[in-house]
Structure 1
């Protein structure tokens, strides 16, 4: 199985910088693991969308867009669970 390319939206990178360093390491590891398995056991499809999914890392949610035909994962948002699904 081919590896997916991972791209980060600028806004997601900005959100990541606001998180504690020890959590950032766990988040980066989870995102990197998506390259080989874009559908890990803890992923969920976001309702109302066709290609947006989320994974949990502690109290944080990583929301990503999956484009299978291009083998691309775009990290859209990295936020605390209480803010993850609200519009910025």
Structure 2
């Protein structure tokens, strides 16, 4: 079961601006894992109750917000936010 991962340009821009090199590596590995499983085991992921099909992945003080469209097999990585504003 392979998923297509779509990454919003702002995620890349914010990652370059705010994340350390090790955090960017963790993000890169996570994005690769999303292709096989939208909820990879061993990752700090929570389903967001306020939004349908929305999840968050934690990287230190930052959260990656993404949506899973199960029928279309698409994962849309929507935003990277500081935990206080996520």
TM-score, length basis structure 1: 0.80
1:4 aligns with 2:6: no
1:45 aligns with 2:47: yes
User: Residues of 1 paired with 2:59 and 2:74: CA distance?
Assistant: 21
RMSD after superposition: 1.6
How far did residue 9 of structure 1 move? Answer: 0.7
Unaligned runs of 5+ in 1: none
Moved over 3 A (4+): none
Unaligned runs of 5+ in 2: none
TM-score, length basis structure 2: 0.81
